[in-house]
Amino acid sequence: MTADLAEKTDRYERMLADALDAAEPRPPADTPLGDAAADVAEMAESYLEDGRHFRANGDPVNALASYSYGYGWLDAGVRLGLFAVPDGTELFTT
């Protein structure tokens, strides 16, 4: 089971990092929706950092949870139209 946890943690870290790179805010930054997009991106980035911190400290369970939460924030932002993503990407549930 430990190997499965390590593989899944690796995969979710990559997936969140790739998703952050792919997602581009849609609304202008100086609008309320632009603020919302910035907030969602900040949450996702914070969860990525938290996951890396947990992982570095030997806590893969909380690392995986952090990556999952971060991805959930970003995916919700995409579904709400706060971010544009490349056509054909399999990173999001658009």
Predicted pLDDT at 78: 92
Residue 88: pLDDT band by 50, 70, 90 thresholds? confident
For residue range 34-54, list pLDDT tens digits in order.
999 999 999 999 999 999 999
Per-residue pLDDT for 27 more than 70? yes
Yes or no: say if 23 and 83 are a contact pair by the CB < 8 Å rule.
yes
User: Alpha carbon of 39 to those of 3, 5, 15, 21, 58: distances in Å?
Assistant: 34, 29, 20, 16, 29
Q: Looking at residues 72-90, what average pLDDT do you find?
A: 89
The Cα 12–Cα 9 span in angstroms is: 5
Contact of 60 with 5, CB cutoff 8 Å: yes
Task: Please say whether the beta carbons of 83 and 26 come within 8 A.
Answer: yes
User: Which amino acid, 64?
Assistant: L
Which burial class, exposed, middle or buried, applies to 85 when counting CB atoms under 10 A from its CB (0-12, 13-18, 19+)?
middle
Q: Domains plus CATH for the chain?
A: 2-84 (1.20.1270.90)
